[in-house]
Amino acid sequence: MKIDKKLKEYAQLIVRQGINLEKGEMVAISADVESADLVEAVVEAAYEAGAKKATIFWGHAGIGKMAYQYQDEATLTDIPDWVVASRDYVVDNKAPLINILSERPELLKDVDPQKIKAATIATSNAMKKLREATGSDKLRWCLAAYPNEEWAEKIFPKLKGEKAVAKLWEYIHKTVRLDKNDALAAWQTHAQNLAKRAKVLNDANLKTIRMKNSIGTDITMDMPKGYEFTGAAKACHYGREFTANLPTEEVFASPDYRTANGKVVGALPLVRRGVIINDFWMEFKDGRCVDFGAKEGYETLKGIIETDEGSHYLGEIALVGFDSPIQNLKTLFYNTLFDENASCHLAIGRSFAGCLKNGTNMTKEELKEAGMNDSIEHVDFMIGTADLSVVGIREDGSEMVIFDKGDWVF
C-alpha cells in the first residue's frame, strides 16, 4: 500500500510524540480495518524507531453492530479467554498501546442500550488488567483518529464522500499541528506551555474549585491533598513521557470524588457508544450524581451513570481555553477526543492515579481514602462556554481567578 507524505508524518507523530517509543519495545495497535493505511504507516514508523514487534487488534464497526443486533445478552457478555490473554500480554510486556479511533456518531442509535451497557461492563471487567494499567499510567498509551465517510459527512453535511473525508483530514491535520513546518517541535512547545499552567495550579495549593456559566453550570469541588494537574506530556510509572491524546489542549487533574456539589449543563453534545447525547445536565450532592436529564440519548446517559457506583461520581476536571485551535475551527466533531479539547470538561467515573503525588504507587484502597474515584467508566463531557468562570479557593479562603470569560487569565 502506498503511504502518502502526510499520513507518514501523522504516523511518526503518533509514534514519537504520542507513545514516545523506545528502541527495543513492542507496540500494540487497536484499530478499525478501515484505517488500515494509517495502521501500516504507524507500524512502519514504529519499526523505523526501533520497535522489536508490532501487534494489531483489528475491529470492524459494522460487524460490531451486527453482534448487538443478533446476539443475546449472555453471548455478548461472554468474553473469550484468548481475547483477555492477548490484552494481558500487552501489559505484561509493557507495550505502548495506540488506539486509532474512527467515529460513527449514530451507528448504534437503534440498538438496545441495555445490551450495549451489559457488553461494555463485561468487556471492561474482563480487560481489568489493561484498564488499570492505562488508568494508572503504568502503560504508555495514545489515542488518535482516522476519518471515514459517515463521520465526515456528519461533520460537514454539505459535503459528500471523498470531499467530506478530505475536509476532515484537513481539520485533523490542523488539530494535531501537522500544518506546522515542524510538527514535533510545535508539540514540544505546546507541551511546555501546558506544563507551565499546570505548575501554577499545583503551586497554588488549592482547596476548592468553582465553575460557573450562563447556561446553568454552577458547581464546586474540592481537590485532594497532593493533587497534581498535568498537561499534554506526562510521565508513565517508569519515567518515560507520553502524550495520551492527539490532539490535546487540556490541563487536567482529578478532584476529590466525595465533594462535588451543584449542577453541570452540557455545552456540546456527547457521543458515547454510537449514540448522541444532547441537551443534558447532571446534579451532584456530596460528590454523587443525584439527578440527570437529556432531551436526546437519555437512556444511554442513564446507562453510563448507572454502570457502577463509581460512575455516579466525578473523576476528572479539565481546563481548556476557549481560544483554542479546535474551538477556533467552529466545528462540532461528534467525537470526544476532539470536542473535549474545544471546551473545559469534567468526567464521571475513574480518577487518574497519576494526578495525585505518589498515586501510581498507592493501592486502590489508599487512592480511595485520598479521594480518588474508582469505576470501570471514564466519560468526559463538555461544559466550557465563552463566559465560563473558574475560580480556585485556597485553604485560607483567598481566591485565585483561573478562567475569566471562558479563557485562561495566566
Per-residue model confidence as pLDDT tens digits over 283-328: 999 999 999 999 999 999 999 999 999 999 999 999 999 888 899 9
Q: Determine the number of helices (DSSP H) and then strands (DSSP E) in the chain.
A: 13, 19
pLDDT digits 0-9 by tens, 188-228:
999 999 999 999 999 999 999 999 999 999 999 999 999 99
| Residue 136 resides in a domain | yes
Q: What is the pLDDT of residue 253?
A: 98
| Residue 374 resides in a domain | yes
CA atoms of 270 and 224, how far apart (whole Å): 27
Q: What average pLDDT is seen over the chain?
A: 96
Q: What is the pLDDT of residue 267?
A: 97
Phi, psi of 225 (to 5 degrees): -65, 130
Same domain, 345 and 396: yes
pLDDT digits 0-9 by tens, 85-117:
999 999 999 999 999 999 999 999 999 999 999
Question: 133, 150, 175: which is the final residue of a domain?
Answer: 175
pTM: 0.94
SS3 of residue 227 by DSSP: strand
Residue 382 has pLDDT above 60, yes or no: yes
Same domain, 234 and 99: no
Same domain, 268 and 386: yes
pLDDT digits 0-9 by tens, 348-359:
999 999 999 999
Domain count, the chain: 2
Report the share of the chain in percent with pLDDT over 70.
100
Confidence of residue 65 (pLDDT cuts 50, 70, 90): very high
Q: What is the pLDDT of residue 235?
A: 80
CA atoms of 349 and 394, how far apart (whole Å): 26
| Residue 331 resides in a domain | yes
Q: What is the pLDDT of residue 2?
A: 58
Same domain, 163 and 197: no
Q: In 318-346, which positions are buried (b, 16+ CB within 10 angstroms) versus exposed (e)?
A: bbbbbebbbbeeebebbbbbbbbbbbbbb
| Residue 74 resides in a domain | yes
Confidence of residue 1 (pLDDT cuts 50, 70, 90): low
Q: What is the pLDDT of residue 215?
A: 98
| Residue 180 resides in a domain | no
- Print the domain residue range for 81: 5-175
Same domain, 302 and 203: yes
Same domain, 243 and 341: yes
| Residue 357 resides in a domain | yes
Phi, psi of 260 (to 5 degrees): -65, 130
Question: 119, 151, 175: which is the final residue of a domain?
Answer: 175
Question: 175, 204, 231: which is the final residue of a domain?
Answer: 175
